[in-house]
Chain A
Amino acid sequence: MTDKPPISKFISRVLVRNLTLIIFVSLLIVFRYFTTRPIYKNGDTVRITATILTDPVSYPGSQGLKVAGLTVYLPTFPEVSYGDGIVVEGIVDEGKLKNAKLISVSGNRSFGSFARNKIIFFYQKVLPQPMSGLTAGITLGSKGTLTSDFWNRVKFTGVAHVVVASGTNVTFVVSFLMGVLTLILPRKKAILFVIVGIILYLFLSGFDAPLVRAAIMAVLTFWAVETGRLVDAWRVLLLTGGIMLIIQPDWLGDIGFALSFVSTASIMLLEKRIAKWLRPVPGVLREGLSTSLAAQVGVAPILFVTFGRFNIWSPIINALVLWTIPYIMVLGSVGGVVGLMFPFLGKMILWLSYPLNWWFVKVVYLFG
C-alpha cells in the first residue's frame, strides 16, 4: 500500500488486465441497449402505469416528475409523491409527455416509503427551510422537500447532484464509514457494520434504484479495497457496473449511474493519496474531506456537461460544501430514525447537524 505507481500507468495496467472482460461486457451492453428501446415515438398518445421513483419537484401551480423516461408536468393538486402508484395519459413529445392528465393515484404501499415520509416529516418539524429540505435531500434524496427557490440556486451553483438521489451521497457515506470504522474496529467487523448500516439505510430510503445501485457498487468495491488487492477491486467495480447495465440498459443514459460509477472509481484511485496530503487535518474531518475531494475530481467534468448551466465557480463551491455531506447524512439518518421513537433526542441530534446545514445554505446563497 505504501509504494504507488503513477496514476496514468496504473490506469493503463488496470485496463490491459481487464481488457477481455471490458470488451465482452461492452458488447453485451450495446446489444441489450439496442434491443430494449422504448416502443413509443413522438406524437403517440400513451397511458403509463408506474410507481414514482423520483421525488416530484414543486413549481408554482405545477409539479414535475419522471415516469417511464418521460418528463411529466401535472397540476399541484392532487399531490403525488415518492412511492405513489400513478396512471398518467398524454402525448409523447421529445422526452416529454404533453397534455398530461393524471388518471389515478394510489398511496404509498411499502413500509420503506412510509418510514421515509415519516422521517422527512420529522425533519420539517424540527429544522427550518431550506435546512430541512437540504437534510431530506442529502439524506434521503428527497427533492420534493426543497423549496423551488433553493432548488434553483442549488442547480445554478452546480451542487444539485448531492440532493437528487443520484447515489453519489451513498458512495460518499460508504467510503466515509469504511474509513472511519476501520480506524476504530477490526476490519471484518467494520465492514459488517457498514453493510448492515447501508441495508438499513436503503430500507428507509425506500429502495430508490440509484441509491441501491450506488450502494452495491460502493460496498463491493471498497470491500475489495479493504481486504484484497487494488486490481481486484477494479475488476469488481467493472463487473458490478457492467452487469447492472446488461440488466438495465436504460441506465446508460442515467446521469446518476455515471456519477456513482465515476465517483466510486475516483475515490478508489485518489482517496488514499489525498488523505496523505491532508495528514495535518484531524482524523474524523480528514476522512470526510479526502473522500469528497477524491470523488469530486472524477465527477466534476460530468457535472459541467450535464447539470444545467456552466458555472465557473462550481468547483470552488463544491469544494466548500461537499465535505459536510457525510456528516449531514450520518447525523440526518441517525437523527431521523431516533426521532421516530424519541422525538426530543432526535431533535438534539438534528440540531448538531444544523451548523453544517447552515454553512451549506450560506455558501449556496453567497454564490447563487
Chain B
Amino acid sequence: MKSWKYIFAVLLLMLATVTIALFEVPDGNLHVIACNVGLGDAILITYGKTQILTDGGPDKSVLSCLGKYMPFWDRQVELVISTHPDADHSTGLTDVIRNYQIGEILINPIDPGTTVYEVLKKEVGGRGVPIINPQEGMRLGVGLMYLDILNPSVELYNKLIVKNMSDKMAKYQISRETNLYSIVYRLSFKNFSGFFPGDIPPEVSNRLSIESSVKGVDYIKIPHHGSVNGLTENLLKALMPKIAVISVGKNMWNFPRPEILDMLGKYGVKVFRTDEVGDVEVITDGTKYWVKSKKDS
C-alpha cells in the first residue's frame, strides 16, 4: 500500500493551511481601509477580530477587499452600516450579507422603493440580521471602537411620508434627497479619530460644522466622492483632518472636483484617492498612524 503517501500529502496541506493562518493573525492595531470599489463607498474598519463595514460599493468587488483584509477563518462582520440606500453604496452589501455572518446592521428606516433596496431588505429580513436605526446623539461601542452618530436628526424624518412604523427598514418612504439622510459618525479609538459622512450635501456639512460634538479628527472620508455637493469649508475648518481619503472611480461628473481638491490643499490635508492608489489602508496603534497603500496590490 502506498497510502502513507496520501496521508503525507494531506498532512502537508494541513501544515500549509496552518502556516497561512499564522500569517493572517491580526495585529494589535486598528486598520481603516477604503476599498477600491470604483465609484462608490466601501470602508472596512478592523481591530483584532472585530470588523465594521460602512457601505458595500456598487458591486461584489467589496468581497475581494473583505477577503484580503480579514483572516480567512473569520467569517463574521460584527457591524454593517448602510449610510444611505443609493446603489453605489448599498448594492455590494447584499453580497456581503450572503457571504458573511452579520452581527448587526445599522440602517436608516427609509425606503426609496428601488430594486437594489428591495433585494437588500429581503436578505436582511430573510437572515434575521438584527437592525439598529440611527439617531443623532447615539453612541455605539464595538470592542475598543466608539461610534458617535451625528446624522440624521429626528426632525429630518418628519418631512417624510410614513409607510410602516413597525418595519425597521421601511418606516418612511423616500423618493429623492437620500443623501440628506446619510448616516454620519465619528469613530474614536484611543487617541485616534475619524469622520465618516456618507454622501452628505452642503447643508448637512454646514449644520454639522457648528455642532459641539464635531471637533478635530485625524482622518476624514470625503463626502460624496469629492463632489462640490458635499464637503464645505466650514466643516473642514471644524474638523481640521490630517488625512483625507476620497473613494472614487471613473465617472462622468469629474469627481473629485478641483474645487474640493484645492480646498483640501489650502488646509494642508494629505489626500489619498482610491482611483489613484487602489485600497487606502490607514493603520493606527491609537496614537501614531500611518498610511499603507500600494497600487493594485
> How distant is B108 from chain A, measured CB to nearest CB, in Å?
20
With the chains together, A60 CA to B62 CA distance in Å? 12
Measured between alpha carbons, how far is A310 from B153 in the docked complex, in Å? 56
**Inter-subunit contact A352/B63 (CB<8 Å):** no
Contact, CB under 8 Å: B99 / A148: no
Give the shortest distance, in Å, between B96 (CB) and chain A (any CB): 10
Does more than half of chain A's interface fall in helix, strand or loop, or is it mixed?
Answer: helix
A46 lies within 8 A of chain B by Cβ: no
Instruction: Give CA–CA (A353, B12) in the complex, Å.
Output: 11
Q: Which of B9, B63, B68, B73 contacts A284 (CB 8 A)?
A: B9
B115 contact from A58, A78, A283, A354, Cβ within 8 A: A78
B116 CB contacts on chain A under 8 angstroms: 76-77
Verify A129–B67 contact, CB threshold 8 A: yes
Q: Are A128 and B9 in contact (CB under 8 A)?
A: no
- Given known pairs A126-B75, A355-B16, the reply for A282 and B5 (CB within 8 Å) is yes
Judged by a CB distance under 8 angstroms, whether A127 is at the interface is: yes
Assess whether A121 is in contact with B98, with CB atoms less than 8 Å apart.
Answer: yes
What chain B residues lie within 8 Å of A285 (beta carbons)? 9
B36 closest partner in A (C-beta):
A149
- What's the minimum C-beta distance from B266 to chain A, rounded to whole angstroms? 33
Interface residues of A in 55-100 (CB under 8 A from B): 58-61, 76-79
Is the Cβ of B99 less than 8 Å from the Cβ of A124? yes
B64 at the A interface (CB under 8 A): yes
For chain A, which range describes its interface: under 10, 10 to 19, 20 to 34, or 35 or more residues? 35 or more
Contact B6–A128 (Cβ < 8 Å): no
Q: Please report the C-alpha to C-alpha distance between residue A61 and residue B249 in the assembled complex, in whole angstroms.
A: 14
Bitwise interface map of B from 15 to 56 toward A, beta carbon under 8 Å scored 1, else 0 = 011011000000000000000001000000000000000000
Interface CB pairs A-B, < 8 A, 29: A60-B58, A61-B59, A76-B59, A77-B115, A77-B116, A127-B72, A128-B70, A128-B75, A129-B64, A129-B67, A130-B64, A130-B67, A132-B99, A147-B64, A148-B60, A148-B61, A149-B64, A150-B64, A183-B2, A283-B2, A283-B5, A284-B5, A351-B17, A352-B13, A352-B14, A354-B17, A355-B17, A356-B13, A358-B20
B residues contacting A by CB (< 8 A) are 1-3, 5-6, 8-10, 13-14, 16-17, 19-20, 38, 58-61, 63-64, 66-68, 70, 72-73, 75, 87, 91, 98-99, 115-116, 119, 297
Closest 8 CB pairs of A and B: A128-B67, A355-B16, A129-B63, A77-B115, A129-B67, A60-B59, A352-B13, A124-B99
Show the binding face of A for B, using Cβ within 8 Å.
58-61, 76-79, 121, 124-132, 147-150, 183-184, 282-285, 351-356, 358, 365
